[in-house]
Amino acid sequence: MKGSRFINEYKISLKNKTPLKIGNGKEESDILIDKNSQKPLIMGSSFAGAFKSYLLGMSEEKNVNLVFGSESKDNTDSKIYISDSYGNKLNLGSRPGIRRDYKYGTSIEGGKYDTTFIEMDTNFEVKIKCFAENKKENEIEENLINKIIVGIREGKVRLGANKMNGFGSFEINNVEVAKFDLGNKANARDYILNNKKYKTMDYTKLENDSNKGYISFKFYGEIVDSLIVKENLIVDYENMKNSFEQDIIPGSTIKGMLRQYNTIILNTLNKELFIIDKIYGSSPDMRTNHTIGRLLVHDVIIENPKYCTYNRIKVDRFTGGVTTGGKFNEKRVKGSLGINISLKRFENEDENKIAIGMVLMTLRDLGLSKITIGSSSSVGSGRIKGEHIEIIDKNKVIKVKFENGMMKVNDNKYISDVISQIEKIKEVM
């Protein structure tokens, strides 16, 4: 790039630790695949968009515009190049899902769908090249790249569709960097002759500042009786599993539960629902003014699983008898679980308090077994006994412990502040 003195080249080796959906922009079930190699493809523009969005959430707007370019009246060019990345294999999976009407708490007619994705443990390598005119620019670029690496490492930088529901998270295998000062003749010669001496970077020691723009929630508990998030088999049902054969509660189920219960809370209090779309995003069916929300959830892995099989029948609602071929089994699971949620901070502190209060109230009632997760909840499935909740908000760590149907809190004022903010939401006229 003209006028550049410093050039840094990074090679970041990645492996997706959650399902990855990079669509081709045509069909819901289609994945972007390179025609020649028949391997999954992540475009450089996808990386750039994810990196830029994450950094803007970290209040780095000025430096982001300098490095990534700006389309404002100043219209500056980008000083960074990000390559396309090809997966080492093509291994596709699929999950069923149901679109819900959160106003009425029911599924939408014809709302069943399947999501196709790239399975976990697919390796990718992305190459990033940064150009700087002087040492100050070079330091800014290095700082931003370090933040991006930490964001990937901590699961805050995600790629593709359904990333707010737990998809698109990566772990880092390795980071290498080659640095050139073109004012140095030896460096300039090495760069021209493509004699690039990469050095391994110890990314594990980079300071974790990824929580700066987020509020984190951690919920721990155990399944009371049994739980099932149904995965269709030929006849019977068993709980959904990931590609490692681990029993999971998908992130979309966690997010759906939170959204549904938050809507119930506000309707019960006769409050306006404007905050719901701000937290969880607008309906995917909206083609204009669509927002993706600010809540990041993860698939929940059920630890120490134990299984139990329930024999069930399907009843003809007209005759009251058993339907033909209506006998089926459910293989449910018991065990302990941990739910991790990250809320991207609002600029408005009152909206942060409302969102914290809404999530906290839902996790509270989940831990008190007042609400359920998954399928067959009407016949006793999906109740959770909470152990404790932890909220990390800036420098504060709020701990909530469940004891004999009661809750003990280490900061009552914080809890009172966020709950009282919900009461200030304007009532529906």
DSSP string, 329-379: EEEEEEEEEEEEEEEEPPSSHHHHHHHHHHHHHHHHHHHEEEEE-SS-GGG
CB 135 within 8 A of CB 182: no
A 10 A CB-CB count for 398 gives 19
Of all residues in the chain, what percent carry a pLDDT higher than 70?
91
236 pLDDT tier (thresholds 50, 70, 90): low
- Domain ranges in the chain are 6-208, 212-423
pLDDT mean across residues, the chain: 88
**Cα separation of 222 and 360, whole Å?**
18
Name which residue leads in pLDDT, 170 or 428: 170
CB 64 within 8 A of CB 144: yes
Predicted confidence at residue 235, as pLDDT, reads: 47
Cα dihedral 44/46/48/49 (nearest 10) = 160
Considering only 212-221, 271-280, 307-316, which range has the smallest mean pLDDT? 307-316
Considering only 66-80, 127-141, 192-206, 385-399, which range has the smallest mean pLDDT? 66-80
Q: Which two tokens stand for residue 96?
A: 């069923």
pTM of this structure: 0.86
* Tokens 């399907």, residue located: 314
State mean pLDDT over 352-360: 97
Name which residue leads in pLDDT, 428 or 286: 428
**Cα separation of 242 and 120, whole Å?**
8
Name which residue leads in pLDDT, 105 or 377: 377
Considering only 55-59, 185-189, 273-277, which range has the smallest mean pLDDT? 55-59
**Cα separation of 150 and 88, whole Å?**
24
Residue 345 has pLDDT above 70, yes or no: yes
234 pLDDT tier (thresholds 50, 70, 90): very low
Residue 19 has pLDDT above 50, yes or no: yes
Q: Which two tokens stand for residue 386?
A: 């909470």
Strand 123-132: give its sheet, edge to edge: 80-82, 123-132, 6-16, 170-181, 199-200
Contacts of residue 18, defined as CB under 8 A and 6 or more positions apart, other chains included, come to 120, 166, 167, 168, 169, 298, 299
What string of H, E and C letters represents the secondary structure of 80-143? EEECCEECCCCCEEEEEEEEEECCCCEEEEEEEEEEEEECCCCEEEEEEEEEECCHHHHHHHHH
Instruction: Give the Cα-Cα-Cα angle 205, 78, 82 (nearest 5 degrees).
Output: 55
CB 238 within 8 A of CB 308: no
CB 42 within 8 A of CB 85: yes
Predicted confidence at residue 97, as pLDDT, reads: 74
Name which residue leads in pLDDT, 337 or 233: 337
Question: How does pLDDT run across 110-155, given as a tens digit for each residue?
Answer: 667 788 899 999 999 999 999 999 999 999 999 999 999 999 999 9
Angular region, 382: left φ>0, alpha ψ -120 to 50, beta rest: left
Cα 391 from chain centre: 17
Q: Which two tokens stand for residue 335?
A: 């065990």
State mean pLDDT over 251-267: 93
Contacts of residue 190, defined as CB under 8 A and 6 or more positions apart, other chains included, come to 180, 196, 197
Residue 276 has pLDDT above 50, yes or no: yes
Classify residue 231 by burial, with Cβ atoms within 10 Å: 0-12, 13-18, 19+. middle
Name which residue leads in pLDDT, 359 or 405: 359
Predicted confidence at residue 311, as pLDDT, reads: 82
Residue 214 has pLDDT above 50, yes or no: yes
